[in-house]
Structure 1
Amino acid sequence: MPFARYRTASTAPPTPRWRRLLAVLAVVLGTALAGPAPAARASVTLTEVTGFGSNPGALTMYVYRPAGLPAHPPVVVALHGCTQSAQVYADDSGLPKLADRDGFLLVFAQTTTANNPSQCFNWFQTTDNRRDQGEALSIRQMVSQAVTAYGADPQRVYVTGLSAGGAMTAVMLATYPDVFSAGAVVAGLPYDCTKDNSPYTCMNPGVDLGPDAWAQRVRDAYPSYRGPWPRTAIWYGDQDTTVAPRNATELRDQWTALHGLSQTPTRTTAIGPDATQHDEYLAADGTVAVEVDRVPGIGHGTPVDPGTGTAQCGSTGAPYFPDSICSSYWIARFFGLDDTDPGDGGGGGGGGGGGTAACWTASNYAQVQAGRATTAGGLTYAKGSGQNMGLYNTFVTHTLKESPAGYYTVADTGCP
């Protein structure tokens, strides 16, 4: 789902030729992506939230709050694709079903035709893809509002999105690595590809840079940041002609290099009903730092698998939700939000796996000494999930839950 023309910003506007070209493409591509009207069906109930900050990107914030949401829940930010809306993404992605089951807060950001004629997030504009400005800052402010107004856990914040929303997911991971523990880019692009390339070139055929060059673009987004870097999942349909699958490889190169990992997967398995290729890149402590999921036989979109099974979710009632595998289920596992096992023999991402979770409550110092957490730059991080636990000392105390073995998440209110 490509972008359209530039929103008016403080920088110099594009030339008249570019303006005409982009306007024409906005109409053509927007019409092509819109597709047939979906059949009528019940919609997920979203709550609009106003007054969440200065909102320089002029975005709208919606929240899905499951009944019985636990105290201090994780929060997942979801970013729709072009021609879509927050409501469409809530209705069809399957995320609300998982939020109900696993107890996390959902924040849906929405852009408008006033920002972009095709309702795309402006991942390609420096006025929107840099820290502390434009759309990136608006989304950051939504996270702050979720923490303040809903009591969400600031150490368990995640982001995912499709296409332009996927590219914006990469923007958020690059510009706010101190906010997001992990992210999932669905049919998106490497961060700052448009530094020296047309957005259309970035989309298809894609741009080939070395891993170190890609990684440097992320480091340049927040030069004073010293880590750790967010864990990153990358999802692509192998028949995508809108955002070329080559971008999955470039995204892999960008994020494995940031984590100091080889571009050769540690292990490869098949997951889901269609044998999606699931490549994992493990850090030294066994954490899945990066994963790449290549879905066979589908084009551009967020893959879903409608049904009532544990590993099923989503709806095909709107364009760009192809019937395949429930990507949102596996993304929640990668984030460490799901303790269930689909029983399909596939390899899980991050926090999946069945069995009874073990819990330990101790100071950050004791958690590190016991091998359940690590320390860097005076801060403590849960081993496996990489969640920031605060200062490395004997005064800050957290409960860590282990599920599966060797994978720890902060669960101050989620353990017996």
Structure 2
Amino acid sequence: MRASVQVPPGGSFEQACHTGASGARAYRTYIPASAQDGAAGLIVMLHGCTQTPEDFAIGTGMNTHAEQHRLIVLYPEQSRGANAQTCWNWFSKGDQGRGRGEPEIIAGLTSRAMKQHSIAPAQTFVAGLSAGAAMAVILGYAYPDIFAAVGAHSGLPLGAALDVPSAFSAMAGQTSSCATPPGHAPRTIILHGDRDKTVHPLNGAAIARMAETSAQGTTSQCTRSGEAGGRCYRRALTMDQAGQTLSEHWVIQGLGHAWSGGQPGGSYTDPSGPDASAEMIRFFLETSQKDEPT
């Protein structure tokens, strides 16, 4: 039975299906009451294995944050026909590039929503957890004309695997293989727990390293430490010459394979630590490295 997502008066949580050249997927759309006169942006949220859009919406609390910022949220749903555990197939060679497979489907439903709600690419973002985070990274590189920034929580880098065996090796941190980025890195925020036993923290570091090395122009770096929600964290930033933050890499102490600062009622969440949803939105919307975490 599907979890019930609470929707405030004036808001809606709609269901639809998109069919593209590579297949079809169902998805849910959260339209906040605050966006009745126009939305400020759009976030695509990709769930992890065994999760549903409803479960992911509840656990991340993203709809509550979206209400505050006038953001529409899309929750694509992986089908059991495509993956028995409802994992996005980030490890499949046919699902790792532009114009084919699951990236083509997700990009297509995103473009459809952008047109429907008059949202520009500069205000369109993609984020995910675990397998969803790995697919979000793929989409950021494959569709820079659609997605302005990426949020990867407990995910893996582009090209970390090409089949199921290499996927498990990558998840265990036993391989350092990555793809050559097809272009400049998207702005990326990475969050990973240092006690993640499902996807080794080395993968979060690899996402950050790829974002840093494929950034355009001269960059500078700094590291900051802090505490939020009862957990300490280390946050490494890479900035361009204008001071724009190109990437943030959060390592959260004591966090396992779960959405940091998540909400009870959703799977793979931990209420302790920085609020990952709030930090992703801050990063997506900020224009200067002077902006501090919420």
**Fold match by TM threshold 0.5:** yes
Do residues 61 (structure 1) and 27 (structure 2) align? yes
Q: 1:257 and 1:65, CA in 2 relative to 1: closer, same or farther beyond 3 A?
A: same
Query: C-alpha displacement at 1:72, in angstroms?
Result: 5.0
Contact map agreement 1:269 1:277 (CA 8 A) in 2: yes
| Residue deviations 1:13-72 (CA, integer Å, cap 9, x gap) | xxxxxxxxxxxxxxxxxxxxxxxx99x87545521123x442624321211000130425
Aligned with 2:223 (options 257, 264, 267):
267
Instruction: For 2:267, give the aligned amino acid.
Output: P
Q: Which has the larger radius of gyration?
A: 1
Query: C-alpha displacement at 1:262, in angstroms?
Result: 9.0
Identity of aligned residues (%): 26
Aligned partner of 1:199 in structure 2 is 167
| Residue deviations 1:109-144 (CA, integer Å, cap 9, x gap) | 110211100010011112222211111011111111
Aligned partner of 2:246 in structure 1 is 289
Do residues 80 (structure 1) and 83 (structure 2) align? no
Query: C-alpha displacement at 1:168, in angstroms?
Result: 0.4
Contact map agreement 2:220 2:239 (CA 8 A) in 1: no
Q: 1:124 and 1:78, CA in 2 relative to 1: closer, same or farther beyond 3 A?
A: same
Counterpart CA distance in 2 for 1:301 and 1:330 is 15
Aligned partner of 2:205 in structure 1 is 249
Counterpart CA distance in 2 for 1:105 and 1:119 is 23
Counterpart CA distance in 1 for 2:206 and 2:194 is 15
Aligned with 1:167 (options 134, 152, 158):
134
Aligned with 2:104 (options 134, 137, 145):
137
After TM superposition, the structure 1 = structure 2 runs for residues 303-314 of structure 1, keeping only pairs within 5 Å, are: 303-304=260-261, 314=262
After TM superposition, the structure 1 = structure 2 runs for residues 4-15 of structure 1, keeping only pairs within 5 Å, are: none
Contact map agreement 2:244 2:289 (CA 8 A) in 1: no
Contact map agreement 2:223 2:234 (CA 8 A) in 1: no
Counterpart CA distance in 2 for 1:178 and 1:150 is 17
Aligned with 1:300 (options 236, 257, 261):
257
Aligned partner of 1:30 in structure 2 is none
- Between Structure 1 and Structure 2, how many residues are aligned? 286
Q: 1:47 and 1:130, CA in 2 relative to 1: closer, same or farther beyond 3 A?
A: same
Instruction: For 1:161, give the aligned amino acid.
Output: G
Q: 1:140 and 1:351, CA in 2 relative to 1: closer, same or farther beyond 3 A?
A: farther
Q: 1:184 and 1:353, CA in 2 relative to 1: closer, same or farther beyond 3 A?
A: closer
Aligned with 1:317 (options 261, 265, 290):
265
Instruction: For 1:164, give the aligned amino acid.
Output: A
Counterpart CA distance in 2 for 1:78 and 1:135 is 14
Q: 1:247 and 1:315, CA in 2 relative to 1: closer, same or farther beyond 3 A?
A: same
Q: 1:145 and 1:160, CA in 2 relative to 1: closer, same or farther beyond 3 A?
A: same
Runs of 4+ in 1 over 3 A off after TM superposition: 40-45, 260-265, 348-354
Aligned partner of 2:235 in structure 1 is 278
Contact map agreement 1:61 1:107 (CA 8 A) in 2: yes
Contact map agreement 2:218 2:240 (CA 8 A) in 1: no
Do residues 109 (structure 1) and 66 (structure 2) align? no
Task: Specify the SS of the correspondent of 1:275.
Answer: strand
Aligned partner of 2:194 in structure 1 is 238
Counterpart CA distance in 2 for 1:350 and 1:85 is 36
Q: 1:239 and 1:259, CA in 2 relative to 1: closer, same or farther beyond 3 A?
A: same
Gaps of 5+ in 1: 1-36, 220-224, 305-313, 340-347, 355-416
Aligned partner of 1:34 in structure 2 is none
Counterpart CA distance in 1 for 2:242 and 2:181 is 23
Counterpart CA distance in 1 for 2:216 and 2:256 is 31
Gaps of 5+ in 2: none
Instruction: For 2:27, give the aligned amino acid.
Output: M
Task: Specify the SS of the correspondent of 1:117.
Answer: coil
TM-score calculated relative to the size of structure 2: 0.88
Instruction: For 1:297, give the aligned amino acid.
Output: G
Task: Specify the SS of the correspondent of 1:282.
Answer: strand
Task: Specify the SS of the correspondent of 1:127.
Answer: helix
Using CA pairs below 8 Å that are at least 6 residues apart, which structure has the higher relative contact order? Answer: 2
| Residue deviations 1:260-304 (CA, integer Å, cap 9, x gap) | 589984232325232221111111111110110111111102112
Task: Specify the SS of the correspondent of 1:137.
Answer: helix
Query: C-alpha displacement at 1:195, in angstroms?
Result: 4.2
Contact map agreement 2:90 2:96 (CA 8 A) in 1: yes
| Residue deviations 1:373-407 (CA, integer Å, cap 9, x gap) | xxxxxxxxxxxxxxxxxxxxxxxxxxxxxxxxxxx
Counterpart CA distance in 2 for 1:80 and 1:155 is 23
Query: C-alpha displacement at 1:159, in angstroms?
Result: 0.5
Counterpart CA distance in 2 for 1:187 and 1:284 is 29
Do residues 336 (structure 1) and 285 (structure 2) align? yes
Instruction: For 1:218, give the aligned amino acid.
Output: P
Counterpart CA distance in 1 for 2:76 and 2:153 is 16
Counterpart CA distance in 2 for 1:55 and 1:163 is 26
| Residue deviations 1:349-368 (CA, integer Å, cap 9, x gap) | 775579xxxxxxxxxxxxxx
Aligned partner of 2:94 in structure 1 is 127
Aligned partner of 1:411 in structure 2 is none
